[in-house]
Protein backbone atom coordinates (compact mmCIF):
# COMPACT_ATOMS: atom_id res chain seq x y z
CA UNK A 1 0.00 0.00 0.00
CA UNK A 2 1.05 3.51 -0.77
CA UNK A 3 2.94 4.90 2.22
CA UNK A 4 1.06 8.21 2.32
CA UNK A 5 -2.24 6.35 2.22
CA UNK A 6 -1.34 4.27 5.25
CA UNK A 7 -0.16 7.39 7.10
CA UNK A 8 -3.53 9.03 6.49
CA UNK A 9 -5.52 5.96 7.50
CA UNK A 10 -3.47 5.59 10.68
CA UNK A 11 -4.02 9.22 11.56
CA UNK A 12 -7.77 9.03 10.88
CA UNK A 13 -8.10 5.97 13.11
CA UNK A 14 -5.91 7.52 15.77
CA UNK A 15 -8.07 10.64 15.63
CA UNK A 16 -11.19 8.62 16.37
CA UNK A 17 -9.90 6.04 18.81
CA UNK A 18 -7.87 8.38 21.01
CA UNK A 19 -10.78 10.76 21.46
CA UNK A 20 -12.71 9.61 24.52
CA UNK A 21 -15.75 11.62 23.56
CA UNK A 22 -15.96 10.07 20.08
CA UNK A 23 -15.26 6.56 21.37
CA UNK A 24 -18.04 6.99 23.88
CA UNK A 25 -20.64 8.52 21.56
CA UNK A 26 -19.84 6.44 18.47
CA UNK A 27 -19.09 3.03 19.94
CA UNK A 28 -19.95 2.63 23.60
CA UNK A 29 -23.16 4.62 23.81
CA UNK A 30 -24.87 2.90 20.84
CA UNK A 31 -23.89 -0.53 22.19
CA UNK A 32 -25.16 0.35 25.66
CA UNK A 33 -28.41 1.84 24.47
CA UNK A 34 -29.04 -1.05 22.11
CA UNK A 35 -28.42 -3.56 24.89
CA UNK A 36 -30.72 -1.60 27.17
CA UNK A 37 -33.50 -0.93 24.67
CA UNK A 38 -33.65 -4.51 23.44
CA UNK A 39 -33.56 -5.90 26.98
CA UNK A 40 -36.35 -3.60 28.07
CA UNK A 41 -38.38 -4.38 24.98
CA UNK A 42 -37.81 -8.10 25.50
CA UNK A 43 -38.77 -8.01 29.15
CA UNK A 44 -41.83 -5.88 28.43
CA UNK A 45 -42.94 -8.18 25.62
CA UNK A 46 -42.42 -11.21 27.85
CA UNK A 47 -44.42 -9.63 30.65
CA UNK A 48 -47.16 -8.73 28.26
CA UNK A 49 -47.45 -12.28 26.96
CA UNK A 50 -47.37 -13.72 30.49
CA UNK A 51 -49.84 -11.15 31.70
CA UNK A 52 -52.28 -12.02 28.93
CA UNK A 53 -51.86 -15.68 29.65
CA UNK A 54 -52.58 -15.25 33.35
CA UNK A 55 -55.36 -12.75 33.09
CA UNK A 56 -58.86 -13.83 34.15
CA UNK A 57 -61.40 -12.18 31.89
CA UNK A 58 -64.63 -10.72 33.20
CA UNK A 59 -67.64 -12.03 31.31
CA UNK A 60 -71.34 -11.15 31.57
CA UNK A 61 -73.87 -13.70 30.42
CA UNK A 62 -77.58 -13.31 29.75
CA UNK A 63 -79.92 -16.31 29.75
CA UNK A 64 -77.15 -18.73 30.61
CA UNK A 65 -78.25 -22.34 29.81
CA UNK A 66 -77.80 -24.76 32.68
CA UNK A 67 -75.43 -27.05 30.77
CA UNK A 68 -73.20 -24.15 29.78
CA UNK A 69 -73.13 -23.05 33.38
CA UNK A 70 -72.13 -26.55 34.45
CA UNK A 71 -69.35 -26.55 31.90
CA UNK A 72 -68.02 -23.21 32.93
CA UNK A 73 -68.19 -23.70 36.67
CA UNK A 74 -66.24 -26.96 36.64
CA UNK A 75 -62.61 -27.87 36.06
CA UNK A 76 -60.70 -26.61 34.17
CA UNK A 77 -62.76 -23.56 33.28
CA UNK A 78 -63.90 -22.46 36.74
CA UNK A 79 -60.55 -20.74 37.37
CA UNK A 80 -60.25 -19.24 33.93
CA UNK A 81 -63.12 -16.84 33.80
CA UNK A 82 -65.07 -14.59 36.09
CA UNK A 83 -68.77 -14.97 35.25
CA UNK A 84 -71.61 -12.65 36.14
CA UNK A 85 -75.17 -13.54 35.24
CA UNK A 86 -77.51 -10.82 34.05
CA UNK A 87 -81.13 -10.98 34.99
CA UNK A 88 -82.55 -8.03 33.09
CA UNK A 89 -82.26 -6.96 29.44
CA UNK A 90 -82.13 -3.35 30.55
CA UNK A 91 -78.60 -3.83 31.81
CA UNK A 92 -77.28 -4.88 28.39
CA UNK A 93 -76.74 -1.38 27.00
CA UNK A 94 -74.84 -0.34 30.08
CA UNK A 95 -72.58 -3.37 29.79
CA UNK A 96 -71.87 -2.77 26.11
CA UNK A 97 -70.82 0.74 27.02
CA UNK A 98 -68.39 -0.65 29.58
CA UNK A 99 -66.98 -3.08 26.99
CA UNK A 100 -66.36 -0.10 24.75
CA UNK A 101 -64.44 1.54 27.57
CA UNK A 102 -62.49 -1.65 28.20
CA UNK A 103 -63.87 -2.19 31.71
CA UNK A 104 -65.63 -5.43 30.89
CA UNK A 105 -64.16 -7.98 28.51
CA UNK A 106 -67.10 -9.83 27.01
CA UNK A 107 -70.87 -10.07 27.00
CA UNK A 108 -72.57 -13.26 25.86
CA UNK A 109 -76.27 -13.26 25.16
CA UNK A 110 -78.04 -16.58 24.68
CA UNK A 111 -81.38 -16.52 22.93
CA UNK A 112 -84.42 -16.94 25.15
CA UNK A 113 -85.32 -20.57 25.78
CA UNK A 114 -82.04 -21.63 24.29
CA UNK A 115 -82.05 -25.17 25.64
CA UNK A 116 -85.62 -25.87 24.56
CA UNK A 117 -84.83 -24.78 21.06
CA UNK A 118 -81.79 -27.05 21.09
CA UNK A 119 -84.00 -29.98 21.90
CA UNK A 120 -86.33 -29.20 19.04
CA UNK A 121 -83.51 -29.37 16.57
CA UNK A 122 -85.52 -31.48 14.20
CA UNK A 123 -87.60 -28.37 13.44
CA UNK A 124 -84.43 -26.98 11.86
CA UNK A 125 -84.72 -23.98 14.10
CA UNK A 126 -81.26 -23.06 15.35
CA UNK A 127 -80.99 -20.90 18.43
CA UNK A 128 -78.26 -18.30 18.41
CA UNK A 129 -75.63 -16.87 20.67
CA UNK A 130 -74.49 -13.28 20.40
CA UNK A 131 -71.19 -12.01 21.73
CA UNK A 132 -70.06 -8.45 22.26
CA UNK A 133 -66.38 -7.64 22.64
CA UNK A 134 -63.82 -4.99 21.82
CA UNK A 135 -61.14 -5.99 19.31
CA UNK A 136 -58.89 -3.10 20.30
CA UNK A 137 -58.58 -4.54 23.80
CA UNK A 138 -56.18 -7.49 24.07
CA UNK A 139 -57.99 -9.03 27.05
CA UNK A 140 -61.33 -8.74 25.31
CA UNK A 141 -60.24 -10.36 22.05
CA UNK A 142 -58.35 -13.05 23.95
CA UNK A 143 -61.58 -13.83 25.86
CA UNK A 144 -63.69 -13.89 22.73
CA UNK A 145 -61.39 -15.80 20.38
CA UNK A 146 -59.46 -17.85 22.89
CA UNK A 147 -61.48 -18.94 25.85
CA UNK A 148 -65.04 -18.54 24.55
CA UNK A 149 -64.31 -20.16 21.20
CA UNK A 150 -63.12 -23.12 23.16
CA UNK A 151 -66.13 -23.03 25.51
CA UNK A 152 -68.58 -22.78 22.65
CA UNK A 153 -67.08 -25.70 20.79
CA UNK A 154 -67.01 -27.82 23.95
CA UNK A 155 -70.63 -26.89 24.59
CA UNK A 156 -71.55 -27.70 21.00
CA UNK A 157 -69.83 -31.07 21.30
CA UNK A 158 -71.79 -31.81 24.45
CA UNK A 159 -75.03 -30.98 22.68
CA UNK A 160 -74.16 -33.08 19.64
CA UNK A 161 -73.00 -35.90 21.91
CA UNK A 162 -76.43 -35.93 23.50
CA UNK A 163 -78.10 -36.07 20.13
CA UNK A 164 -75.88 -38.97 19.05
CA UNK A 165 -76.29 -40.63 22.40
CA UNK A 166 -72.55 -40.80 23.09
CA UNK A 167 -70.11 -37.98 23.69
CA UNK A 168 -67.31 -40.08 22.12
CA UNK A 169 -69.03 -39.86 18.73
CA UNK A 170 -68.35 -36.17 18.49
CA UNK A 171 -64.70 -36.74 17.76
CA UNK A 172 -63.85 -38.70 14.64
CA UNK A 173 -60.04 -38.94 14.65
CA UNK A 174 -56.87 -38.17 16.63
CA UNK A 175 -54.21 -35.78 15.45
CA UNK A 176 -50.56 -36.04 16.45
CA UNK A 177 -51.01 -38.26 19.45
CA UNK A 178 -48.12 -40.41 20.61
CA UNK A 179 -44.47 -39.99 21.49
CA UNK A 180 -43.22 -39.41 17.97
CA UNK A 181 -41.79 -35.99 17.13
CA UNK A 182 -44.07 -34.35 14.63
CA UNK A 183 -42.31 -31.05 14.04
CA UNK A 184 -39.36 -32.03 11.91
CA UNK A 185 -37.91 -28.56 11.99
CA UNK A 186 -34.15 -28.10 11.63
CA UNK A 187 -33.22 -26.20 14.80
CA UNK A 188 -30.54 -24.35 12.88
CA UNK A 189 -32.95 -23.13 10.23
CA UNK A 190 -35.62 -22.21 12.73
CA UNK A 191 -33.20 -20.06 14.67
CA UNK A 192 -31.96 -18.49 11.45
CA UNK A 193 -35.48 -17.79 10.31
CA UNK A 194 -36.28 -16.10 13.58
CA UNK A 195 -33.22 -13.91 13.35
CA UNK A 196 -33.76 -13.14 9.69
CA UNK A 197 -36.78 -11.09 10.62
CA UNK A 198 -35.07 -8.13 12.27
CA UNK A 199 -31.34 -8.80 11.96
CA UNK A 200 -30.71 -7.82 8.31
CA UNK A 201 -32.38 -4.50 8.90
CA UNK A 202 -30.34 -3.91 12.05
CA UNK A 203 -27.07 -4.83 10.31
CA UNK A 204 -27.83 -2.46 7.47
CA UNK A 205 -28.81 0.43 9.72
CA UNK A 206 -25.90 -0.07 12.14
CA UNK A 207 -23.42 0.00 9.29
CA UNK A 208 -24.80 3.26 7.98
CA UNK A 209 -25.25 4.92 11.34
CA UNK A 210 -21.74 3.94 12.39
CA UNK A 211 -20.14 5.73 9.47
CA UNK A 212 -22.53 8.68 9.38
CA UNK A 213 -21.49 10.85 12.32
CA UNK A 214 -17.77 10.29 12.03
CA UNK A 215 -17.86 10.57 8.24
CA UNK A 216 -19.58 13.94 8.32
CA UNK A 217 -17.10 15.17 10.88
CA UNK A 218 -13.99 13.86 9.17
CA UNK A 219 -14.83 15.43 5.82
CA UNK A 220 -17.37 18.27 6.10
CA UNK A 221 -16.06 19.03 9.59
CA UNK A 222 -12.48 19.21 8.37
CA UNK A 223 -13.54 21.51 5.56
CA UNK A 224 -15.43 23.69 7.99
CA UNK A 225 -12.58 23.89 10.49
CA UNK A 226 -9.90 24.53 7.84
CA UNK A 227 -7.88 21.39 8.53
CA UNK A 228 -8.71 19.91 5.11
CA UNK A 229 -7.08 22.92 3.42
CA UNK A 230 -3.88 22.27 5.39
CA UNK A 231 -3.81 18.77 3.93
CA UNK A 232 -4.49 20.03 0.42
CA UNK A 233 -1.37 22.25 0.35
CA UNK A 234 0.88 19.24 0.94
CA UNK A 235 2.17 17.26 -2.08
CA UNK A 236 -0.47 14.59 -1.44
CA UNK A 237 -2.52 13.54 -4.42
CA UNK A 238 -6.22 14.28 -3.94
CA UNK A 239 -6.97 10.62 -4.66
CA UNK A 240 -4.79 9.60 -1.75
CA UNK A 241 -6.70 11.85 0.63
CA UNK A 242 -10.03 10.59 -0.72
CA UNK A 243 -9.03 6.93 -0.41
CA UNK A 244 -7.57 7.51 3.04
CA UNK A 245 -10.89 8.89 4.22
CA UNK A 246 -12.94 6.17 2.53
CA UNK A 247 -10.89 3.27 3.84
CA UNK A 248 -10.61 4.54 7.41
CA UNK A 249 -14.31 5.29 7.47
CA UNK A 250 -15.11 1.77 6.28
CA UNK A 251 -13.03 0.33 9.11
CA UNK A 252 -14.81 2.58 11.59
CA UNK A 253 -18.22 1.65 10.22
CA UNK A 254 -17.52 -2.05 10.68
CA UNK A 255 -16.11 -1.63 14.18
CA UNK A 256 -19.09 0.46 15.15
CA UNK A 257 -21.51 -2.11 13.74
CA UNK A 258 -19.64 -4.82 15.65
CA UNK A 259 -20.00 -2.92 18.89
CA UNK A 260 -23.72 -2.55 18.23
CA UNK A 261 -23.85 -6.31 17.81
CA UNK A 262 -22.15 -6.86 21.09
CA UNK A 263 -25.00 -4.77 22.50
CA UNK A 264 -27.53 -7.11 20.88
CA UNK A 265 -25.78 -10.22 22.08
CA UNK A 266 -25.64 -8.84 25.62
CA UNK A 267 -29.38 -8.19 25.48
CA UNK A 268 -30.06 -11.62 24.01
CA UNK A 269 -31.16 -13.45 27.16
CA UNK A 270 -33.97 -10.93 27.48
CA UNK A 271 -34.68 -9.96 23.93
CA UNK A 272 -35.20 -13.24 22.07
CA UNK A 273 -38.87 -12.56 21.57
CA UNK A 274 -38.21 -9.13 20.10
CA UNK A 275 -35.59 -10.50 17.75
CA UNK A 276 -38.02 -12.92 16.25
CA UNK A 277 -37.16 -16.08 18.10
CA UNK A 278 -39.26 -18.00 20.57
CA UNK A 279 -38.45 -18.39 24.23
CA UNK A 280 -36.20 -21.36 23.82
CA UNK A 281 -34.31 -20.02 20.84
CA UNK A 282 -30.68 -20.87 21.28
CA UNK A 283 -27.97 -19.05 19.40
CA UNK A 284 -25.70 -22.07 19.59
CA UNK A 285 -28.10 -23.76 17.18
CA UNK A 286 -27.02 -21.24 14.61
CA UNK A 287 -24.01 -23.13 13.40
CA UNK A 288 -22.62 -20.89 10.71
CA UNK A 289 -20.08 -22.64 8.57
CA UNK A 290 -17.02 -20.91 7.17
CA UNK A 291 -18.79 -20.47 3.87
CA UNK A 292 -21.83 -18.78 5.49
CA UNK A 293 -19.57 -16.43 7.39
CA UNK A 294 -17.60 -15.77 4.21
CA UNK A 295 -20.80 -14.87 2.38
CA UNK A 296 -21.92 -12.61 5.21
CA UNK A 297 -18.55 -10.89 5.26
CA UNK A 298 -18.51 -10.28 1.51
CA UNK A 299 -22.02 -8.87 1.49
CA UNK A 300 -21.39 -6.65 4.50
CA UNK A 301 -18.07 -5.28 3.33
CA UNK A 302 -19.43 -4.41 -0.10
CA UNK A 303 -22.50 -2.80 1.47
CA UNK A 304 -20.20 -0.72 3.66
CA UNK A 305 -18.54 0.46 0.45
CA UNK A 306 -21.79 1.98 -0.82
CA UNK A 307 -22.64 3.52 2.53
CA UNK A 308 -19.23 5.08 3.06
CA UNK A 309 -19.20 6.25 -0.55
CA UNK A 310 -22.54 7.99 -0.14
CA UNK A 311 -21.55 9.58 3.16
CA UNK A 312 -18.19 10.79 1.82
CA UNK A 313 -19.72 12.18 -1.35
CA UNK A 314 -22.39 14.17 0.46
CA UNK A 315 -19.93 15.36 3.12
CA UNK A 316 -17.48 16.59 0.54
CA UNK A 317 -20.15 18.58 -1.30
CA UNK A 318 -21.26 20.22 1.95
CA UNK A 319 -19.42 23.20 3.40
CA UNK A 320 -20.34 22.50 7.01
CA UNK A 321 -21.26 19.53 9.17
CA UNK A 322 -24.75 20.94 9.46
CA UNK A 323 -25.14 21.13 5.70
CA UNK A 324 -23.81 17.57 5.38
CA UNK A 325 -26.45 16.52 7.90
CA UNK A 326 -29.25 17.94 5.77
CA UNK A 327 -27.95 16.04 2.73
CA UNK A 328 -27.37 12.76 4.52
CA UNK A 329 -30.62 12.57 6.51
CA UNK A 330 -32.82 11.82 3.45
CA UNK A 331 -30.32 9.19 2.32
CA UNK A 332 -30.47 7.64 5.78
CA UNK A 333 -34.26 7.49 5.44
CA UNK A 334 -33.93 5.69 2.11
CA UNK A 335 -31.44 3.25 3.63
CA UNK A 336 -33.85 2.56 6.50
CA UNK A 337 -36.79 2.15 4.13
CA UNK A 338 -34.93 -0.31 1.90
CA UNK A 339 -33.85 -2.21 5.01
CA UNK A 340 -37.40 -2.37 6.36
CA UNK A 341 -38.99 -3.23 3.05
CA UNK A 342 -37.86 -6.85 3.08
CA UNK A 343 -38.70 -7.50 6.71
CA UNK A 344 -42.03 -9.23 6.16
CA UNK A 345 -41.28 -11.07 2.95
CA UNK A 346 -40.72 -14.76 3.40
CA UNK A 347 -40.72 -15.91 -0.17
CA UNK A 348 -37.62 -17.15 -1.94
CA UNK A 349 -35.58 -14.29 -3.36
CA UNK A 350 -35.81 -13.46 -7.03
CA UNK A 351 -32.73 -12.60 -9.08
CA UNK A 352 -33.80 -9.05 -9.84
CA UNK A 353 -33.87 -8.20 -6.14
CA UNK A 354 -30.12 -8.63 -5.93
CA UNK A 355 -29.61 -6.13 -8.73
CA UNK A 356 -30.86 -3.24 -6.58
CA UNK A 357 -28.05 -1.66 -4.56
CA UNK A 358 -28.52 -1.69 -0.76
CA UNK A 359 -31.92 -3.44 -0.94
CA UNK A 360 -30.29 -6.42 -2.63
CA UNK A 361 -27.64 -6.64 0.08
CA UNK A 362 -30.29 -6.63 2.81
CA UNK A 363 -32.17 -9.39 1.00
CA UNK A 364 -28.89 -11.29 0.73
CA UNK A 365 -28.17 -10.99 4.47
CA UNK A 366 -31.67 -12.22 5.21
CA UNK A 367 -31.16 -15.25 3.02
CA UNK A 368 -27.77 -16.00 4.51
CA UNK A 369 -29.46 -16.22 7.92
CA UNK A 370 -32.04 -18.56 6.40
CA UNK A 371 -29.23 -20.66 4.90
CA UNK A 372 -30.53 -20.32 1.37
CA UNK A 373 -28.20 -17.86 -0.32
CA UNK A 374 -26.18 -19.38 -3.13
CA UNK A 375 -22.73 -18.20 -4.21
CA UNK A 376 -24.30 -16.94 -7.43
CA UNK A 377 -26.51 -14.65 -5.39
CA UNK A 378 -23.50 -13.48 -3.40
CA UNK A 379 -21.58 -12.78 -6.57
CA UNK A 380 -24.40 -10.77 -8.13
CA UNK A 381 -25.17 -8.77 -5.00
CA UNK A 382 -21.50 -8.07 -4.26
CA UNK A 383 -20.82 -7.03 -7.87
CA UNK A 384 -23.73 -4.62 -7.82
CA UNK A 385 -22.37 -3.09 -4.60
CA UNK A 386 -18.82 -2.91 -5.94
CA UNK A 387 -19.94 -1.24 -9.17
CA UNK A 388 -22.01 1.28 -7.20
CA UNK A 389 -19.06 1.95 -4.91
CA UNK A 390 -16.67 2.46 -7.81
CA UNK A 391 -19.11 4.94 -9.31
CA UNK A 392 -19.33 6.79 -5.99
CA UNK A 393 -15.53 6.83 -5.62
CA UNK A 394 -15.26 8.26 -9.13
CA UNK A 395 -17.62 11.08 -8.11
CA UNK A 396 -15.75 11.65 -4.83
CA UNK A 397 -12.43 11.93 -6.70
CA UNK A 398 -14.02 14.44 -9.05
CA UNK A 399 -15.23 16.48 -6.09
CA UNK A 400 -11.79 16.46 -4.44
CA UNK A 401 -10.32 17.84 -7.65
CA UNK A 402 -13.08 20.42 -8.04
CA UNK A 403 -11.85 23.77 -6.78
CA UNK A 404 -15.38 25.09 -6.44
CA UNK A 405 -16.18 22.30 -4.02
CA UNK A 406 -12.91 22.56 -2.10
CA UNK A 407 -12.43 26.35 -2.12
CA UNK A 408 -15.84 27.65 -3.23
Partner 1 sequence: MIEVKSLRKVYKLSKKQMLKNNTVERKKVAVDNISFVTNKGEIFGLLGPNGAGKTTTLRCISTLIKPTQGEILVDGLNINKQAEEVRKKISFLTNELKLDTHFTPKYTMEYFGSFYGLSKREIEERTEYLFQEFGIDNFAYTKIEELSTGMKQKLSIAVSLIHDPELVIFDEPTNGLDIITARAVMNYLQKLREQGKSVIISTHIMSVASKLCDRIAILIDGKIRANGTVQEILYKTGADDLEDAFFKLYNNVSIGEKI
- In the complex, which residues of this chain contact ligand ATP (CB under 6 A)? 407-408
CB atoms closer than 10 angstroms to residue 175: 5
Q: Please, what is the minimum distance in Å from the beta carbon of residue 37 to partner 1?
A: 31
Q: Per CB under 8 A, does 94 bind partner 1?
A: no
Q: Per CB under 8 A, does 158 bind partner 1?
A: no
Q: Please, what is the minimum distance in Å from the beta carbon of residue 1 to partner 1?
A: 14
Q: Per CB under 8 A, does 116 bind partner 1?
A: no
Closest Cα to residue 336, out of 155, 202, 229? 202
Kindly state the number of chain residues that form the binding site for partner 1, as judged by CB under 8 A.
Answer: 24
Q: Please, what is the minimum distance in Å from the beta carbon of residue 220 to partner 1?
A: 15
Q: Please, what is the minimum distance in Å from the beta carbon of residue 242 to ligand ATP?
A: 21
HSE, side-chain direction, 13 A CA sphere, residue 141: 5
Residue 406 interface partner, choices ligand ATP, partner 1, none, CB cut-off 5-8 Å depending on type: partner 1
Q: Which range in 3-11, 44-52, 57-65, 168-176 contacts partner 1 by CB under 8 A? A: 3-11
Strand partners, 85: 61
Rounded to 5 degrees, φ, ψ at 356 are -90, 120
* Angle between helix 238-271 and 29-54 (nearest 10): 30
What does the DSSP assignment read for 285-319? G----HHHHHHHHHHHHHHHHHHHHHHHHHHHH-S
Mark residue 357 as left, alpha or beta (left: phi above 0; alpha: psi -120 to 50; beta: remaining): beta
Contact 275, 197 (CB under 8 A): yes
Given 29, 229, 387, 390, the residue binding partner 1 (CB under 8 A): 229
Q: Please, what is the minimum distance in Å from the beta carbon of residue 36 to ligand ATP?
A: 48
Q: Per CB under 8 A, does 3 bind partner 1?
A: yes
* Spatial CB neighbours of 405, under 8 Å, sequence gap ≥ 6: 316, 317, 399
Q: Please, what is the minimum distance in Å from the beta carbon of residue 407 to ligand ATP?
A: 6
Separation CA 349–CA 361 (nearest Å): 12
Name the residue nearer to partner 1 (CB basis): 99 or 316: 316
Q: Per CB under 8 A, does 398 bind partner 1?
A: no
Q: Which residue is nearest to ligand ATP (CB)?
A: 408
Name the residue nearer to ligand ATP (CB basis): 178 or 408: 408
- Say what the alpha-carbon torsion angle 354, 356, 362, 363 is, to the nearest 10 degrees: -40
* Spatial CB neighbours of 349, under 8 Å, sequence gap ≥ 6: 363, 364, 367, 372, 373, 377
Given 226, 290, 347, 352, the residue binding partner 1 (CB under 8 A): 226
Q: Which range in 97-105, 221-229, 267-275, 322-330 contacts partner 1 by CB under 8 A? A: 221-229
Given 67, 98, 117, 237, the residue binding partner 1 (CB under 8 A): 237
CB-count exposure of residue 245 (10 Å: 0-12, 13-18, 19+): buried
Residue 226 interface partner, choices ligand ATP, partner 1, none, CB cut-off 5-8 Å depending on type: partner 1
Name the residue nearer to ligand ATP (CB basis): 251 or 406: 406
Residue 351 interface partner, choices partner 1, ligand ATP, none, CB cut-off 5-8 Å depending on type: none
Separation CA 278–CA 271 (nearest Å): 10
Contact string (CB under 8 A) for partner 1, positions 5-44, x = contact: --x---x---x--xx-------------------------
Q: Please, what is the minimum distance in Å from the beta carbon of residue 213 to ligand ATP?
A: 29
Residues forming contacts to partner 1 in the complex (CB under 8 A) are 3-4, 7, 11, 15, 18-19, 222, 225-227, 229-230, 232-237, 403-404, 406-408
Amino acid sequence: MNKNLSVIIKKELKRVFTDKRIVFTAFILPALSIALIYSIMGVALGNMIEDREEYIPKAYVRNMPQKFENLISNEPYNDMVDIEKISDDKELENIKEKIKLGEIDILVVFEKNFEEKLKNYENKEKPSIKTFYNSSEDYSSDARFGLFNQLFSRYENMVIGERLGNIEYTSAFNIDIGSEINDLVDEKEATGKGLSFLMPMLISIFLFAGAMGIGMDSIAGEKERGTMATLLVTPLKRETIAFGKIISLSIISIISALSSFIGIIVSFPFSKAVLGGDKDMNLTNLKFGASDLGKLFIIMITLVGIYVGLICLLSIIAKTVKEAGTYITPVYMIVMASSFMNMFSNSDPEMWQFLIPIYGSVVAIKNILMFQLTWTHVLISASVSVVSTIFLIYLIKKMFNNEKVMFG
